[in-house]
Amino acid sequence: MIKLFIISFFLILNINADEEGFVKIFNGKDLTGWIGAKDGYKVTEDGTIAALNRKKNIYTEKQYSDFILRFEVKMDSGANNGIGIRTPSEGKATLECQILDNSSPKYAKKKDYQYHGSLYHLVGAKKGFLKPVGEWNTQEISVIGSKVKVTLNGTIILDVDMSQLKKQNKGSKRTTGHIALLGHGSGVYFRNMRVKDIKK
């Protein structure tokens, strides 16, 4: 009994240490701290941000340079959305981490860089690590300098240095900006969103 208590105690310590420095960017009640087209999203009674069937974007009020973003996400069948990285609050988001139902037949002929976890139009992520449609996935996006790492359900599915890519865009060269939810007109749900601002 004592041994079990000690093991549990150290597990709690490890979990707390792993979350050190992370700050919630969604309070589970409303879209305080977010700007943009809030009419494209709603907060549900169970504390999630639900993307409505509208192609609209919202952005964190705060801008980030280097950060680690953690969140949970689930999708309706055929869903499509994105996480904007270092995004300007006006104009087109040019660095997007894909949120996509890879299992949908309508996406069967997409290019590698269009599937879940990929950097859109730049580099593809590994497939096969999403949970079935309707189940929650845990995801982490780490952006440090030119390096981006995406971890999905405990597996690293993308680990890239954008400065080494043959193909780049304006977004891959930006050094600061907002974190954004990029609506593509389908049902996607987010919760437990928190970020660790990495100071150089």
For residue 47, the domain's CATH number is 2.60.120.560
Q: What is the pLDDT of residue 91?
A: 72
For residue 169, what are the CA distances in angstroms to 64, 100, 161, 166? Answer: 19, 21, 13, 10
Question: What is the C-alpha to C-alpha distance for residues 173 and 92, in angstroms, rounded to an integer?
Answer: 14
User: Measured between alpha carbons, how far is 20 from 41 in angstroms, rounded to an integer?
Assistant: 29
**Inside any domain, residue 7:** no
From first to last of the 200 residues of the chain, give the pLDDT tens digit. Answer: 565 444 444 444 444 568 999 999 999 999 999 999 999 999 999 999 999 877 899 999 999 999 999 999 999 999 999 999 999 988 777 899 999 999 999 998 999 999 999 999 999 999 999 999 999 999 999 999 999 999 999 999 999 999 999 888 888 899 999 999 998 888 899 999 999 999 75
Domain span at residue 130 reads 22-198
Both ends of the chain: CA-CA distance in Å? 45
pLDDT score for 92: 76
Token reading at 60: 């964190």
Q: What is the pLDDT of residue 186?
A: 84
CA-wise closest residue to 198 among 151, 150, 144:
144
Work out how many domains the chain is built from and give that number.
Answer: 1
Q: What is the pLDDT of residue 10?
A: 42
Specify if 155 maps to a domain.
yes
**Residue 8 resides in a domain:** no
Q: Is residue 125 part of a domain?
A: yes
In a domain, 15, yes or no: no
Task: Tell whether 2 is covered by a domain.
Answer: no
In a domain, 69, yes or no: yes
